[in-house]
Structure 1
Amino acid sequence: MSERRDCDILAGPRKGRGAVSNPDGRYESHRHERVADDWPGDDEVPPPLRTTLGIDTARSVIAYNDSPDVAFDRSVNPYRGCEHGCSYCFARPSHAYLGLSPGLDFETRLFHKPDAPARLAEELRAPRYACAPIALGINTDAYQPVERRSGLTRRLIEVLRAYRHPVSIVTKSALVERDLDLLSAMAAEGLAQVFLSITTLDPALARALEPRAATPLRRLETLARLSEAGVPCGVLFAPVIPALNDHELERVLARAREAGASAAGYVMLRLPGEVKPLFAEWLETHVPGRAAHVFSLLRQMHGGREYAADFGVRMRGRGAYAELVAQRFRVAARREGLDRGLPPLDCSRFRVPARAGDQFDLFSSDDH
């Protein structure tokens, strides 16, 4: 059983944190429950929580998938857990595998792979490796705040650039601008593209939903700087939360196009595992009275359940409400010129760079 912290004892929203509580992971042998017993201190404001960064001992860096719902078959995730604290994050249940809570632990007890760049180079160098675009930071944001001090994502991009390997990035962070020197050089060869995820244009709602992510205005500025630097970029309106941010769809796409986005996508709210009770708790804390409406519309999209994990359904839903959102998106994307997608990434440039002691390929003119 994992060590318990003050966040397990004192419930309530924390400044700069998304989850309201820290429930035990589903694999724990014990359960902790807070009980109000009117002792002095029961109503005190919970103290701030410090972020810790541990080491992830994963044997491989590239994760493969065969999901028909996503446009990539491989990804690299530099971090486990995410300091952005998005209350709806579909990756929260993964922290239970570490013996930790999908709640506050997920956004405060982070793990990274310090040897990831070396491992990535080894995997790209394998004789049987076949190049295809790598999605960077899909489960958790590769540019979350802790990246400022670790620099792990930048070192991974440096490896990809050395191998001329295409990469696609989705982020909520303006920190991606730090790596414009690498990304713009790769984009000039058709090797890089970036999507900015924008959930809302309302700064107050964004602060509650995604407390440590960049503000909506800052993300739009980042789109503009990426576009100006020649990096193909798009906007991802995600997640679409029924009765909370769905009315913003057209405005988000319009503002993103003005900022320089060339493509757009959207994803419906997903509530796997422990995300459902955590998000319900967030709704009751921050927007009292909305929970019933939100969950009613979710059930309409998932055959009476709040979430269905079936391929072809989990990202979009089904039924009248889901089709209405899909139609609105198609119309708005076409009107804004965001319906053509980004240019395909170029896998033909992939090369394994020579190491000290390697014999040069006499039939290759690259870098000679």
Structure 2
Amino acid sequence: MFMVFRLLSGCGGAASLALSGGTLADLVPRQQRGKWMALIAIGPIMGPTIGPVVGGFVGQNIGWRWVFRLMAICIGALIPLAAYTLRETYAPVILLQKENQRRMSLGLPLVSAGRDVSAKLKRSILRPFKLLFLSPVVLFLALYAAFCFGLMFLLLTTFSNVFSGQYDFDMGITGLCYLGMGVGTLGGLIAQGKFSDNIMRKRAEQRGGEPKPEDRIPLMAYLSWTIPVGMFWYGWSTDEKAHWIVPIIGSAFVGIGFIFVVMPSMIYLVDCFGPEAAASALAAHTVLRSVTAAFLPLAGPRMYESLGLGWGNSLLAFLAIAMIPIPWYFMKNGERLRLKSKLVL
């Protein structure tokens, strides 16, 4: 029963992750999307690190059931606010709605959107998968982001055993250990918001032309190395039973690198596909990384049992190193790949 309702909560929460990119493309000019995407991402990215801090103390003091009750109360309070404030942002739909309002006031027949509901639903469901499997831009960026997402969640699953078992922390203090990665992700988001748009503008000025989606990639190319560094750091410091602050610092490096892989890839897709298909591209991106984050941690217990924390995390670090060439390839060949992706639409 717990797994069924967990699945339902994931289905409900997926909408905001997929639709945020389309809304951003509708409302924000390309040159300003970096800072706004960083702001939008604070909730879904900081949640996995802040949640365990609150949940640890709530579960320890008033019981684990109150963890779920507290979440239900918070979500229930936000639903009316969302229903009242969230409005349509896609320009063609807004124009159609206004035209039909005008026609209704004049007693004229309404204008059809051109497709029935079933056709729209079918297209909305199939297009993200079509982009994922037929667009090289979406596929390779989603694979890289999915690996980093799964790696981060796999690392988080070790915190309870490491800090409660090895360092003898109670449930509440163990929850505080997640703040190391939280500080890393927050710092990455601040840097992403500050530098992403500036880098795009400067690269466009150097070319003497318009900004390109590939101008979002340098942050990923130059800073993705922090993920394997953090994995080595965390793995061997816990394996050697170093002071508890040492692995927490290592997890902060993983958080920084995670941001500089996932965020540029998302903004790249928004810039690449624009208002017409950004939501579908991000839906494909979200599906792959969410599935990876769900299933990759299942391999963790067996891997760490066989290899230990040191070599287990080193294996993941070596895989992260093997993926570092991906953003460099996009910086050189991204425009050619984008043309192939446009044909998919």
**TMscore range, shorter length:** under 0.3
- Structure ranking higher in helix proportion: 2
Give the TM-score normalised by the residue count of structure 2: 0.22
- Higher relative contact order (CA closer than 8 Å, sequence separation 6+): 2
